[in-house]
Amino acid sequence: MRASRIAAVAVVLFGLGFAGDVGAQSCPKGKLRLYTSWPMQGAMLPEGTGMKNGVDMAVAEANGVVAGYCLEVVNLDDASPQTGKWDGAVEAENANKAVGDPLAIVYIGTYNSGAAKVSIPITNRAHMAQVTPANTYPGLTKKRGAAPGEPDIYRPGGFVNYFRPIPADDIQGAVAAKWAKRLGAKKVYILNDQELYGKGIADVFEATAKKIGLPVVANEGIDWKQPDQKPVLTKIRASGADLVYLGGVIETGAQVVIRQMKEVGLTAPRTRFMGPDGLLEEELLKGATCESALAVDARITFAGLPFEKMRGVGAKTYETYKAKYGKEPTSYALYAAEGTRVIIDAIKRSASTIEKAKDVTEKREAVRKAIASTKNFEGINGKWSFDENGDVDYDTMSGFKAVKADTPVGCKFAFETILE
């Protein structure tokens, strides 16, 4: 605890030092602070640094000044020094620090959806907007794919203050259903691991498939702890389905399904396998074996585009990042840049209201409203707007496919197509 406080103080001092640099510029209307909060140590250090770079990059693009206000970034770490992983107590402390700072205008974070559950209610009470570069758990913003009571429990003020410029997990189910239809599927059988992520995605897949006229035999929850899925797969074979969609992750035994699909004779070209990005891991190919993954023509969707496939603003952002930091962006670095650009744009649009505001809460409220009304934003995955939940309305994703490769495993997931 003590160590973390010292670390936090050090980070704040570092932030102030950074502020000293921009302080050289003219700030006729004073300063506004952006707080960030995500793990900045241990195994998370590369991603944490990547996201910090993304924020800094967006601030630097505006030369650190927006509508006469100087922007100051304060980086906080929400990991516990004991475990190196996000910690609810530290995250709460960070959020409280931000709302207690009269210059703080927006909170950027978190990395872990679990941590966001802690900080959103705190920032919500303070009317402070929170923008995440990385949380994809649907329940943080909407009822689809959520636990009972979500997302209202995160909104004690009754309004939306949490925004994500990254598509939530459940969108993948919708995109996957469209992809399945495009691939010529006539009849799909949906399985899910009965967990929040997997079931949420499977339900959305089902709803979308029905909407676009793709027949669904069933959406069945399986007992993923059971290493024998042959009876269920035999049933799928008897049903004549030509695509098996599995809402699950590698920790809930997707390997077993792929492996045994081949065993019971569910193979391509007659029957294919498809799943969400929780399966886009080399571990999946190792456990299921390349032979089986190739036999079922395994296809996986991925939220957003791979950086090297981005177009327009995305391509430019990717190049700028590489030139500025001399390395490939981490998974969420460009989303951190995108989130910060959204904030800067909102401050610009609400500058006059901020100026007239009587107190800090009114200032924050002005920015929150401006972020919520973000429309037709030129983002890294194309133009998008925030919906009433604070989610992006674009559904640009990519499709991957298992292919033979000269890797130790013998195969890999290769980018196949852009899905829209």
Q: Which of 6, 89, 215, 283 binds other proteins (CB under 8 A)?
A: 283
Backbone torsion region of residue 68, taken as left when φ is above 0, otherwise alpha when ψ lies between -120 and 50, otherwise beta: left
Contacts of other proteins in 187-216 (CB under 8 A): 194
Nearer to other proteins, 39 or 253 (CB): 253
288/344 with CB nearer other proteins: 288
Kindly state whether residue 230 participates in binding other proteins, applying the rule CB under 8 A: yes
- Of the candidate residues 250, 298, 310, 402, the single one contacting other proteins (CB under 8 A): 250
Which CB, 76 or 250, lies closer to other proteins? 250
Cα 203 to chain centroid distance, Å, stands at: 19
Using the contact rule CB under 8 A, the part of the chain among 5-13, 203-211, 236-244, 318-326 near other proteins is 236-244
Whichever of 75 and 260 has its CB closer to other proteins, that residue is: 260
- Does 272 engage in binding with other proteins (CB under 8 A)? no
Number of residues that bind other proteins (CB under 8 A): 42
| Interaction residues for other proteins, span 285-324 (CB under 8 A) | 286-289, 291, 295
What is the closest distance, in whole angstroms, from the C-beta atom of residue 259 to other proteins in the complex?
Answer: 5
Span from 130-138, 145-153, 225-233, 363-371 in contact with other proteins (CB under 8 A): 225-233
Contacting other proteins (CB under 8 A), which of 25, 226, 352, 407? 226
Output 61 or 282, the one with its CB closest to other proteins.
Answer: 282
Distance from the first to the final alpha carbon of the chain: 47
CB nearer to other proteins: pick between 289 and 385:
289
Q: Residues in the site for other proteins, rule: CB under 8 A?
A: 194, 218, 220-223, 225-232, 234-235, 237-238, 240, 250-251, 253, 255-256, 259-260, 262-267, 270, 281, 283-284, 286-289, 291, 295
